[in-house]
Structure 1
């Protein structure tokens, strides 16, 4: 465990991470696709279709700390009763990638600064949309993922009724399982337990 130039403690050793998981199983970063049936992955940061314009990840995978992943599984189960499911755009994000985002955007509203780190780096934040369970078709929501416009705000109201309805379904389903929406991004949710977990800077390949 090391303290970086911003005074943050960030775990970048896979061995140290595994030791912590062995001591406390809930610290494990769980592969969401393996845990949650019917989950759709659209991991934009493994492609060039993102705010950086280039891939930030080598693998299109999504991980969350075990209690957060299990809460998300309950969201998926509840949505399934409505014929809907979750689409995952991003989940755990290595700290070094957050630094890249901030250097590109230079706006704390849309990118966590390196002197604070992101709740994504703790494995406790997830970026989500909605799909039809049978077809995988994306439901209309206010904007595309990572579209940094006023319409991305969760209180933005100048939208078609069906889009507002879809956003409200997502918000209610996530809230019931302990997720709190970040108001400037309709897709971003933090789990209430985020402060229990440390910042990580481990690439997916080491998990």
Structure 2
């Protein structure tokens, strides 16, 4: 069986019954923090947007954290165009690092950390971030400093992919504690974690439906 990723055929096979919930800007909500635009300039216009229920669940997760610790959004919504750009960049990195891989193998390895917009046969995927249902989040202290997670989210393309795994081996006690704290509050708020990325959580998308056994996803691709 293939590694479980949002692009896995068994995840993409989950039906979507779009609920038509709007996207909202978390900058207009109280009690939530967000960082600078991530990844590339193309993310800047939309990265703070999430579905309305996702915002409410993020607020709930924030309420579960100890005083002085804040949830901070790294990235929410991502357009298909930006998703394709990031996929192409990661695919090129994989091919440079592992030139012995076939195109199909390089595709599968790329989807470990960047969801595909389309499959090799040209059929379409539904990337989680393009639904407004997925968020990349971290925890910061009262001074706005990111807690120790063993790595920064922004370093995902530069570190060993094994370090990105939620329960990665070799972590310090501090990094493991903070990863677990983040996972605990997000799961209590109804999110599921993508185990290859400690920072990635979603509710209502196909990965969520597959992991929780829900018969349908409620969020599909949405355009801004």
Verify same fold: TM over 0.5. yes
> Paired residue for 2:45, among 59, 65, 71?
59
RMSD in angstroms over aligned alpha carbons?
2.2
Distance in 2, Cα, partners of 1:171 & 1:200: 26
> Paired residue for 2:133, among 124, 127, 132?
124
- Corresponding residue for residue 79 of structure 2: 94
How many residues matched? Answer: 170
For structure 1, which segment, 174-183 or 190-199, has the greater mean C-alpha deviation from structure 2 after superposition? 190-199
State yes or no: 1:141 paired with 2:124.
no
Moved beyond 2 Å, runs of 4+? 40-43, 57-61
Distance in 1, Cα, partners of 2:194 & 2:44: 27
Distance in 2, Cα, partners of 1:82 & 1:185: 26
Deviations 1:58-93 (A, max 9, x none): 4375011111110011111221x3421112110011
Point out where structure 2 has 5 or more consecutive residues left out of the alignment: 1-18, 92-109, 119-124, 207-216
Which structure has greater strand proportion? 1
Cα 1:108–1:31, aligned 2, differ >3 Å: closer, same or farther? Answer: same
1:5-154 → structure 2 map (5 Å cutoff): 27-44=21-38, 50=39, 54-59=40-45, 61-79=47-65, 81-106=66-91, 107-115=110-118, 116-132=125-141, 134-146=142-154, 147-148=156-157, 149=160, 150-154=162-166
Cα 1:118–1:193, aligned 2, differ >3 Å: closer, same or farther? Answer: closer
Pairwise CA distance, 1:201: 3.4
Q: Which has the higher contact order (CA 8 A, sep 6+)?
A: 2
Point out where structure 1 has 5 or more consecutive residues left out of the alignment: 1-23, 45-49, 203-207
Pairwise CA distance, 1:164: 0.5
Pairwise CA distance, 1:129: 0.6
Distance in 2, Cα, partners of 1:169 & 1:83: 14
Deviations 1:87-146 (A, max 9, x none): 2110011111111111111211111111213111010000011001x2112111121114
TM-score by length of 1: 0.75
